Chain A
Amino acid sequence: MLKTALLLVNFMIAMALLLSLWRLIQGPSLADRILALDTLYINSIALIILLGMYMGSPLYFEAALLIALLGFVSTAALCKYLLRGDIIE
């Protein structure tokens, strides 16, 4: 039963990734694209955690933690670029 639930949720998160990719391509403003990138990295964290549960290996947490750290830093850098026109002044 757990395998079925994991496959179903895998499909749902793939749909979520496609929807945020659509917003990333279509987004009318720059802030929309930053928001779509933010959603994409959170969705990929969920996908990696699901993969770890499916394979039964705890090695995937380090990858998820790294993606969380670097995703926040990239969102902060992009917002800083929009606000100030420069990342490190």
Chain B
Amino acid sequence: MNWTELAISFFVLLGGLFMLIGSIGLARLPDFYMRLHAPTKATTLGVGSLLIASMLFFSIKNSMFSIHEVLITIFLFITAPVSAHMMAKAALHVDTQTLERTQGSEAHQAATARKSTPSEADLANKQEGSES
């Protein structure tokens, strides 16, 4: 047992643990806006740590510095917050139910108010329709 194998096993176990914690949070938390936190943070970290392990593994196995795993890491670290933001906006738009103790209800009320009052484009369309 040499120390490189120990380091690779440590990173693999860390990554698996983070993935499992993220999915347990997805399954167990009570509210959508709470559930949004668990996978988008913990799972990204888990994949990053697994990719560090795989970089070490292939660098040692082929005795050549292997860098192309960084592509997946960079891509996931860029896209995970973007997709979380888009999912939160979609949930606000379809009026997902929240618990009483979920904070930030102002944003929820603002979204529902924005949806119930007609926008300026709708009003312009309506006027054109009544004139013709």
Contact = CB atoms under 8 A, between A and B. Distances in A.
Contacts of B57: 2, 53
Contact of A35 (B24, B50, B87): B87
Given A42-B43, A46-B50, A31 B94 contact: yes
Interface residues of A, number: 48
A76 B83 contact: yes
A70 to B, nearest CB: 11
Contact of A8 (B16, B19, B27, B68): B16
Interface stretch (B69-77, B102-110, B118-126): B69-77
B16 A9 contact: yes
A45 B47 CA distance: 8
Given A12-B17, A43-B43, A79-B83, A34 B90 contact: yes
Interface string B29-55: 000100110011001101100110110
Q: Which 6 A-B pairs have the closest CB atoms?
A: A9-B16, A16-B23, A31-B91, A79-B86, A82-B90, A5-B9
Interface of A: 1-2, 5-6, 8-9, 12-13, 15-17, 19-20, 22-23, 28-32, 34-36, 38-39, 42-43, 45-46, 49-50, 52-53, 56, 58, 61, 64-65, 68-69, 72, 75-76, 78-80, 82-83
